[in-house]
Amino acid sequence: MKIVYFSITGQTRRFIKKLGFSEDTFVEITQDYPDIEMAQPFILITPSYAEESPTQQCSQDVMNPVFEFMATGVNRTLCKGIVASGNRNFAGLYIYTAKELSAQYQIPIVYDFEMNGTTSDVKALKSVFKRLSDGAKLLVSEKQMYREHLEQI
């Protein structure tokens, strides 16, 4: 299983490095190359960015490469879960991108963390990754929050 991620500010990339997996485990989506087609199951780690001022791009525009990636080929069917990063200071926009992707593609959010994550976040995500790699299946349910999904795996 792979971990696919997107990082503009570097926070998500810093978190990825903390996981300590081999480099060939990761695939980075970039602004210039969002249309990567995956050939094996993966977990998507995506940040969310809030619009800070009228002169900056909207968060949706900034995140277009992630949406383009998910729309490429069979990527949406190979994605086994979404991990969300964000900043709780964004209030209602915290992990907004992951929520949008989850709703659009019916893929569960399996974990979320703030900024570049803590030691506990690293440990938890390693556990989620292992369980999903071993074949655990998660379902999206409107009645269950993604934290409940984490408890199930």
Task: Report the length, in residues, of the chain.
Answer: 153
Cα–Cα distance measured from residue 17 to residue 21, given in angstroms and rounded to the nearest whole number? 8
* Under 8 Å between Cβ of 105 and 1: no
pLDDT digits (tens), the chain, 153 positions: 999 999 988 889 999 999 999 999 999 999 998 999 999 999 999 998 765 444 444 555 678 899 999 999 999 999 999 999 988 877 777 888 899 899 999 999 999 998 888 999 999 999 988 988 888 776 554 433 444 444 444
Write the DSSP symbol of residue 95: T
pTM for the structure as a whole: 0.83
